[in-house]
Chains A and B, each alone.
Chain A
Amino acid sequence: MIDKIVQSPADAVSGIFDGATIMISGFGEAGSPIELIHALIDHGAKELTVVSNNTGSGHVGLAALIENRRVRKMICSFPRTTNSKVFPELYHKGEIELELVPQGSLAERIRAGGAGIPAFYTPASVNTPLAEGKETRVFNGQTYVMENAIRADFSLVKCRKADRHGNLVYNKTARNFGPIMCMAAETTIVQARETVPLGAIDPEVVVTPGIFVSRIVEVRNPADESKLVAEDRRYPW
């Protein structure tokens, strides 16, 4: 029997090693797998390269992972938001590396990584500082810049519903990077608000087919990150 469901976030993140590249879903708070991130902080892996659109808010979730000095390098499109304090401070001190990528190129690099495509050409960032040092090529009279695919050792993803095969359904704009990150990692770890019996998700509405998922943990009431930030909570509690 295939059963990818594990019992706790701690079980879900077991085996994550020092120096790993980890993709973390979410656009700001929406879709950020905060319980998995906190389990990863408890787990202790360090020297991580994290691929995520932002760098977290306040002192919880991704910001807490960074604040606890587990992240060597961030690959993202927008490393500052209203409530992001941790990353800017470490960045100014030169204690964390940043690879800035246009958001669409970031998404496509992840998609390509999952699709077995090593690189692709995009018009985004041509003639800008973000294309410096990258190969360019002219197609039909227009210049494009080459972007390399990104693959990860692990992806941490949040979804709404999962079955034991790993078929996933998401919630609204919390979907964002989840489906492509599931495809681009050796081991994809998912926290689902609800696990349902096999067959309960209509095959027509499956967003991520189970083949892309390795482990699932049910987190029925995930934390509301903005509430934790407003209360100035810090992880570890």
Chain B
Amino acid sequence: MVKDGIKKGWDVQQMAQKVAMDIPNGAYVNLGIGIPEMVAGLVPEGREVVYHTENGLLGMGPVPPAGAEDPELINAGKKCVTALPGASYFHHADSFTMIRGRHIDICVLGALQVSETGDLANWSTGEPSAIPAVGGAMDLVAGVKTIYVISKHLTKTGAPKIVKACTYPLTGKGVVDRIYTDLAIIDVTGKGLEVKELAPGVSFEYLQKHTEAKLIPPATQSSN
């Protein structure tokens, strides 16, 4: 974000890097469409992470080289991907058994809004002219053990995305565990939204000014 001509915070790549650092060795991970997809390429060497895509593949690999694409090997965003050694294919009911049955460890999703109690709105702005489309988001937030949101701190028009209560239709209530934005990493806890880390050049006051929900500063947290 640019404020008074000074660039503050992390870029998208750095945000994805922060998420990647928090994915442990051996995790089964589902990545949402868009910015979350970047995370896969940034997991530190030495960690083995298995990526799940809800259209029926565990062990998803990177995008294939040009000319090697297979239209029958795609991810949930309908982009061509690859299958790594050890991968498996399965049908949709099995795929959502993995999700709803709490077999997937981490899901990384984008957001339109997150509330101070971890409610997530990420599928519809509720405008009557928009065609509603939900995909697997509601199943993912209901079933995956840990939900990470990765998102710009503000909307394109400068409105806060971290709000007291979501005004858009919910994807799930009280489902978000941690929020990674360009300005900070914030945990959703029983006490409220605890700031874990501030991006370079970002003060707590600046962060709070651009957040509708009340934040708990890092210093006042009892322990790490």
Contacts and interface: CB of A to CB of B under 8 A. Distances in A.
Interface in A48-76: 53
A120 to B, nearest CB: 10
Contact of B74 (A125, A173, A179, A207): A173
A103 B54 contact: yes
B143 to A, nearest CB: 7
Interface string B128-162: 01011111111100110000000000000000000
Contacts of A79: 131-133
A123 B74 contact: no
Contacts of A127: 170, 172-173
B91 A78 contact: no
Contact of B134 (A92, A103, A110): A103
Contacts of B124: 129
Interface in B43-73: 53-57, 70-73
A128 B56 contact: no
B72 A31 contact: yes
Interface string A151-169: 0000000000000000000
Contacts of A78: 133-135
A221 to B, nearest CB: 13
Interface in A16-72: 27-31, 53
Interface residues of A, number: 52
B204 interface: no
A81 interface: yes
B113 interface: no
A122 B142 contact: yes
B208 to A, nearest CB: 28
Given A123-B100, A173-B73, A130 B95 contact: no
B170 A128 contact: yes
Contacts, number: 146
B83 interface: yes
A113 B135 CA distance: 20
Given A122-B100, A123-B100, A124-B143, A107 B131 contact: no
Contacts of A148: none
Given A103-B54, A107-B95, A175 B90 contact: yes
A217 to B, nearest CB: 19
Contact of B71 (A81, A91, A224): A224
Interface in A121-138: 122-130
A180 B92 contact: yes
Interface string B166-177: 000111110000
B180 interface: no
B137 to A, nearest CB: 8
A100 interface: yes
A75 to B, nearest CB: 13
A29 B99 contact: no
A104 B139 contact: yes
Contact of B89 (A92, A123, A126, A170): A170
A188 interface: no
A130 B134 contact: yes
Contacts of B10: none
Contact of A103 (B57, B83, B136): B136
B28 interface: no
Contacts of B54: 103-104
A106 to B, nearest CB: 8
20 contacts: A27-B78, A28-B74, A77-B135, A80-B131, A91-B131, A92-B131, A98-B132, A102-B137, A104-B138, A107-B92, A111-B93, A123-B143, A126-B172, A127-B170, A128-B173, A130-B138, A171-B72, A172-B57, A176-B92, A179-B91
